[in-house]
Amino acid sequence: MSNHQELLIRTPDDFSFPENLEYLSRSADECMFHIQDSRVTRAIEVDGKPVLFVMEENPDGILVTLTGEGDEVKAGVEQFVRDWLDLGRDLMPFYELGERDPLLREAVRRHRGLRVVGIPDLFETFVWAILGQQITVAFAYVLKRRFVETFGQAIEADGVIHYLFPSAEKVAGLDPEALRELKITGRKSEYIIGIARLIAAGELTKEGLLALGDDRTVEHRLTAIRGIGPWTANYVLMRCLRSPDAYPAADVGLHNALKLVAGLDRKPTLPEVEAFAEPWKGWRAYATFYLWRYLSSESEQG
């Protein structure tokens, strides 16, 4: 196979491939990549063309094998993986904070090396966040899979079908009824198509949002869009725009995690949720992500 290339991405000391793999493995309904034998296979688009790559742990970092020729493709895949796993971030300040903080300590110790796994594509992040509003994560995965399998581009390799996330352009032209058939609620269908149209029209871009600067400005811009409330805006800031401090304070999973680590006999109130996070300022997205992870690892043990 002459069109394969290898790429070794060196990872920082505070990166754990198994911890991130564990997070990526959390749903059998995940459709944007496949995991087998500790190897992750995924299709992405680089310069408008589909590229398939496999990543696996290596003594020196992450070994990536990709299909496609040329340095541009290789660079595109490397950039994607770096963004996906937030490899450019130094977590030492967060770990020092975690050691001092009784609410975070156990989560940080247990899952050290975990990154806020990102969703590099803006449209995908919005769709995933909107689908996840008010329903269980498990059901959100089912809805995402239906959506991707129905509207995404399929790429077959070695008997396995991989998907590119549906483009905003394609979804912009859909009727809400087409999403309703997948059991996505009518309102969410409208939200998703509305966002797709803004993105397809170039009125909403990742670069444009990043250029706004601080989180509060982005949140204000996003919550002006129908279907985007404070939770979704902060979720997008965390997973796509890479703010380490975004804080989805209304998140039910966060509330349950805080109830657990703070030893409460009820869920915390919103003021309490804000107060708990006061010492985490600068790292609230990381704190949230670790608490989510901690909560799911606790509930797995029954």
Among 17, 94, 235, 290, binds DNA (CB under 7 A): 235
Number of residues engaging DNA in binding (CB under 7 A): 35
Q: Kindly state whether residue 25 participates in binding DNA, applying the rule CB under 7 A.
A: no
Among 87, 155, 250, 260, binds DNA (CB under 7 A): 250
Select from 41-49, 75-83, 97-105, 139-147 the region that touches DNA (CB under 7 A).
Answer: 139-147
273 CB neighbour count, 10 Å cutoff: 18
Among 58, 167, 256, 297, binds DNA (CB under 7 A): 256
Confirm whether 90 is a catalytic residue.
no
- Residue 109 or 187 with smaller CB distance to DNA: 187
Who contacts 75 (Cβ-Cβ below 8 Å, separation ≥6)?
Answer: none
Q: 3-state class of 148 per DSSP?
A: helix
Among 49, 170, 216, 226, binds DNA (CB under 7 A): 226
Query: In DSSP terms, which residues pair with 11 in a beta bridge?
Result: none
Token digits of residue 294:
């901690």
Among 174, 253, 260, 298, binds DNA (CB under 7 A): 253
Least distance to DNA from the beta carbon of 3, Å?
A: 35
Number of H helices, E strands in the chain: 15, 7
- Residue 61 or 230 with smaller CB distance to DNA: 230
Q: Kindly state whether residue 128 participates in binding DNA, applying the rule CB under 7 A.
A: yes
192 contacts 177 by C-beta, under 8 angstroms? no
32 contacts 148 by C-beta, under 8 angstroms? yes
Q: Is 65 exposed, middle or buried (0-12, 13-18, 19+ CB in 10 A)?
A: middle
For β-strands 34-36 and 39-46, DSSP reports them as antiparallel
Least distance to DNA from the beta carbon of 253, Å?
A: 4
Select from 35-43, 60-68, 85-93, 178-186 the region that touches DNA (CB under 7 A).
Answer: 178-186
The radius of gyration of the chain from alpha carbons, rounded to an integer in Å, stands at 19
Q: Which of 249, 274, 286, 299 lies closest to 137, judged by CA?
A: 299
191 contacts 227 by C-beta, under 8 angstroms? yes
Among 52, 129, 164, 195, binds DNA (CB under 7 A): 129
Among 233, 261, 277, 285, binds DNA (CB under 7 A): 233
Query: In DSSP terms, which residues pair with 42 in a beta bridge?
Result: 53
Q: 3-state class of 241 per DSSP?
A: coil
Among 15, 147, 231, 247, binds DNA (CB under 7 A): 231
Sites for DNA among residues 81-110 (CB under 7 A): none
Interhelix angle 122-132/230-239, nearest 10 degrees: 140
Q: Kindly state whether residue 228 participates in binding DNA, applying the rule CB under 7 A.
A: yes
Token digits of residue 181:
């058939």
Least distance to DNA from the beta carbon of 251, Å?
A: 5
Least distance to DNA from the beta carbon of 6, Å?
A: 31
- Residue 55 or 233 with smaller CB distance to DNA: 233
Cite the active site residues.
251
**Which residues are at the interface with DNA (CB under 7 A)?**
128-129, 132-140, 142, 183, 185-188, 223, 225-233, 235, 239, 250-253, 256, 292
